[in-house]
Structures are given as C-alpha cells and as structure tokens.
Amino acid sequence: MRPSPGRTADAPRGPSCKTARRSLPKDDGTRSLIADNLLDRQFSAERPNQKWVADFTYIWTGQGWLYVAAVIDLFSRRVVGWSMRETMTAQLVTDALIMAIWRRGKPHALLHHSDQGSQYTSEQFQRLMADNGVSCSMSRSGNVWDNAAMESFFSSLKTERIARKVYRTRDQAKADVFDYIERFYNPRRRHSTLGYLSPIDFEKLSEVA
C-alpha cells in the first residue's frame, strides 16, 4: 500500500533530526475483499450515522511510529471513533470502528467508506461491519480524492498540531492527538461546511448530540 499525501509523516525538528533513522512503514497484509466506491465523493449527509469515512495515518516519535486511525461522520465532520497503536494491523482500524459504534449506537443503513488497505479488507474488519449491518464502500486504487474529507482531517491534525511538535515517546503523541480530537477539533474547531460551527455545536443545533 503506497502512502497517500494524508499519510505523510511530519519529520521531527531540532537535534533529534540528526540521529533519527527511520523508513516509511510498510503494509505487508493481504487483501480479502475490494468493494465498489458507493460514496462516489458525495461528502455530505442528511442525517447523522448515514455516512462515515475512515482512514489512518502515522506519526513519528522518538520510540518509532505511532499509527492513528479515525472515523468521521460526514453529517457533522465529528470524529466519532479513533484508536492509536504502534502497529498498523487490522485491530487498529477495528478498534476505531468499535468506538464509533459504541458512541453512536448500532447504526441503521450506514455507509462506511475507506481505502483498499488490507486493514479494511481484512476478515476481522469486514465481519465487524457485517455483524452491525454496515455497508462497505472503498476508494478506487490510488485515488486519494475519493476520501478527501478524511484526508482533510489528517491534514488539519498535522498542520495545526503535529507539525509544531517533537514527540519523544508514543505516550506523548497519544496524549496530544487525544487533546486535539476531543478538546479542540470536535468541540471547538469551526468548519465552513457547517456554517462555521464546530462538529459538536452543529450536532447540538441539529438536536442530535
């Protein structure tokens, strides 16, 4: 799986740049299913839990890579699920979807969109979606614009938070990503697509929070 622009890790700054040696992470998994692109770049939703988009990125730390998976509800652009691990296994993205389902309740007629990475095509992840009645949509191979809303979130995370930081440990990075999502992005970050409201404020206004 070739890293997309939304997955480009930010290089550390300062003295650690001279000693840090790292190679880009590789996905050695095998694919078991490729789904059609049912989302078809329609990045708006009429109600919550109608369309979710998902992806993961990676962050460099002094202890190595930290992988961050997220699930966003296109109705409000709210991050409804996330997970962080030191390996990019199927469990990484499965945990993010489990959190989303736990937070939002078992969805009805939900479309879940991701790329064709082996984590999302794995039997483990596909079984979770099937057990919860979630329909699967996947980007076309090598086309990052098919999941542009997700790419936009990771771009914001890295530009607004990670680019200014050097993380010596994975725990430091985890704490900062948590702070960005739960204390800034969801409750405070304004979106032009939401009438310059934050995701949580938009949901409150729509009486769905």
Give the burial string for 171-209 (b: 16+ CB within 10 Å, else e): ebbbebbeebbeeebbeebebeebeebbbbbbbeeeeee
Q: Which domains does the chain have, with CATH numbers?
A: 50-205 (3.30.420.10)
Task: Give the pLDDT confidence of 56-72 residue by residue, as tens digits.
Answer: 999 999 999 999 999 99
| Residue 1 neighbours by CB under 8 Å, 6+ apart | 27, 115, 116, 117, 118
- pLDDT on residue 25: 54
- pLDDT on residue 125: 97
Q: Are strands 51-61 and 111-114 parallel, antiparallel or unpaired?
A: parallel
111's tokens: 């479309």
- pLDDT on residue 8: 39
Q: What is the pTM of this model?
A: 0.83
